[in-house]
Amino acid sequence: MTGPVDELRAAPGGARELPERWAPEERDTLPGVGWAWQAITGALVLVLLTLHMIANHFVVQGGLRDYQQVIAYITNPIILPLETLFLVVVSWHGLLGLRAVVFDFGLSARAERIVTRVFVVVWLATIAYGVTLLAILVTRP
Amino acid sequence: MTDRTAPTGRTALPDATAPSRARRRGVAGWVDVRGRRLGGWAFILNRVTGLGVLFYLYLHLLVLSQLAIGPGAWDSLLKNWFLNPVFLVLDVVLLAGLLIHGLNGIRVSLVGFGLVVSRQKALLGAFGTIGAIVLLIGTLMFISHGG
C-alpha cells in the first residue's frame, strides 16, 4: 500500500524531494493548499495569541481586565483591528482543523462538500458575533 | 472563501489528493498504536489539543457576551468565578494545550516545508524544553494572580 508521500515521489515531474523521515499523516488530511493555509494561519495565530495573552493576562494587575480596563483596551485604535484580525484568523484555523477531523470519519465527496459549506457559514457567523460584540462595546457611551 | 483542497476543487498534484492511510482508517486510526512512530503520536496530541482549544475558543466567546450586559455582569464574573483556584488550574491546562499545539504546529510546519527534517528529534527536544519553561513561568504567574 502506498501513501500520498510515495505517490508524490512517483508523480510525473518528480514533485520535490521529500524527506525520508516524513510523518505523512501529519499533513495528509489537509492536502495541498489547505495544509499551507493551516500553517500560515497557525503562524499568524501564534503571533496574535501571544500578544493577546501578554496584553490581557500577563501584564495586567491580577491577571484579568475588569470592565473599564477591557473598554480602554479595545478602544485603542491599534488593538481593535488586531483583535478583530485575531478573531478572523483563529476561527478560520480552528474550523479548518475541525473540518480535517470530521473528514477523518471517511465521508463521501458530497458529505465533505456539505461539511465545508457548513464550516464556512459557522466561520462567518463567528466573525459576525465577534464584530457585533466589539461594536457594542466600542460605541457604548 | 472555500478551501480549494475540498474534494470538488483540488488543485494539487492528482496523486496528492488520494486518501491517506490515516483517512482510510478513519478516527479509529488515531488510537491504533501499531507501528506508530513519534510523529504519529505528535499528530494525535495535536488533534486532541486542537479540539480542546477550539472548544475553549467558543466558550471564551460565549463568556465575553457578559461584557455586552454591562460592568456589573463582567466584574462579578471575574470576582466570583475566574479568580477561583479551580479556574486557575484550568488556566494552566489551557496554557499547556496551547503550548503543545502551537509548538508542535511549528515543528510540523517546518518539517512540512522541508526544513530541519533531519533534526526532528532535536527540534522536539528544543520545543519540549521551551514549552516546559513557558508553562512553568505561566503557572507561577497564575499562582501569583490567584494569591
Cβ-defined contact of B26 to A1 (cutoff 8 Å)? no
The pLDDT, as a whole number, for residue A30 is 53
Query: What Cα–Cα distance (Å) separates residue A71 from each residue in A62, A65, A80, A134, B7?
Result: 17, 9, 10, 10, 44
Residues A17 and A84 in one domain: no
Q: Domain range for residue A2?
A: 1-29
pLDDT of A115 above 50: yes
Residue of A nearest to B9 (CA): A113
Residues A44 and A110 in one domain: yes
Residues across chain B: 147
Residue of B nearest to A34 (CA): B5
More confident residue, B2 or B15: B2
B54/chain A closest Cα distance in angstroms:
6
- The verdict on residue B46 lying in a domain is yes
> Which CATH number do you get for residue A90?
1.20.1300
Tens of pLDDT, residues A8-41: 333 333 333 333 343 444 444 555 567 788 889 9
pLDDT of B85 above 50: yes
pLDDT of A123 above 50: yes
Tell me if chain A has a CB within 8 Å of the CB of B79: no
Cβ-nearest to A1 among B21, B22, B78 = B21
More confident residue, A17 or A110: A110
Helix axes B38-69, B85-112, angle to 10 degrees: 130
Q: What is the domain count for chain B?
A: 1
Residue of B nearest to A127 (CA): B61
A50/chain B closest Cα distance in angstroms:
10
The pLDDT, as a whole number, for residue B87 is 86
Residues A131 and A102 in one domain: yes
- The verdict on residue B89 lying in a domain is yes
The pLDDT, as a whole number, for residue B60 is 94
Tens of pLDDT, residues B92-137: 999 999 999 999 999 888 887 888 778 877 888 899 999 999 999 9
> Which residues of chain A from 103 to 132 reach within 8 Å of chain B, CB to CB?
103-106, 109, 112-113, 116-117, 120, 126, 129-130
Tens of pLDDT, residues A59-92: 887 778 999 999 999 999 999 999 999 999 999 9
Residues A5 and A44 in one domain: no
**CA contacts within 13 A on the Cβ side of B5:** 24
Residues A8 and A42 in one domain: no
Cα separation, A103 vs B116, in Å, equals 29
The pLDDT, as a whole number, for residue B34 is 66
When pLDDT is cut at 50, 70 and 90, the band that residue A120 belongs to is very high
Cβ-nearest to B112 among A15, A27, A68 = A27
> Which CATH number do you get for residue B120?
1.20.1300
Average pLDDT, chain A: 80
- The verdict on residue B138 lying in a domain is yes
Residues A46 and A4 in one domain: no
Cβ-defined contact of B141 to A104 (cutoff 8 Å)? no
Q: Domain range for residue B108?
A: 37-146
Q: What is the ipTM of this complex?
A: 0.77
The pLDDT, as a whole number, for residue B59 is 95
Categorise residue A32: left if φ over 0, alpha if ψ from -120 to 50, beta otherwise.
Answer: left
The pLDDT, as a whole number, for residue A14 is 34
* CA nearest to B67, candidates A92, A127, A132, A79: A132
Tell me if chain A has a CB within 8 Å of the CB of B8: yes
Report DSSP state, residue B3: -
What percent of chain B is modeled with pLDDT above 90?
Answer: 37
More confident residue, A25 or B16: A25
Q: What is the domain count for chain A?
A: 2
- The verdict on residue B15 lying in a domain is no
- The verdict on residue B6 lying in a domain is no
The pLDDT, as a whole number, for residue B7 is 36
Residues A1 and A38 in one domain: no
A85/chain B closest Cα distance in angstroms:
15
- The verdict on residue B30 lying in a domain is no
B144 and B85 in contact (C-beta within 8 Å)? no
What percent of chain B is modeled with pLDDT above 70?
Answer: 72
More confident residue, B81 or A127: A127
The pLDDT, as a whole number, for residue B10 is 33
Cβ-defined contact of B17 to A133 (cutoff 8 Å)? no
The pLDDT, as a whole number, for residue B28 is 67
- The verdict on residue B54 lying in a domain is yes
Residues A89 and A22 in one domain: no
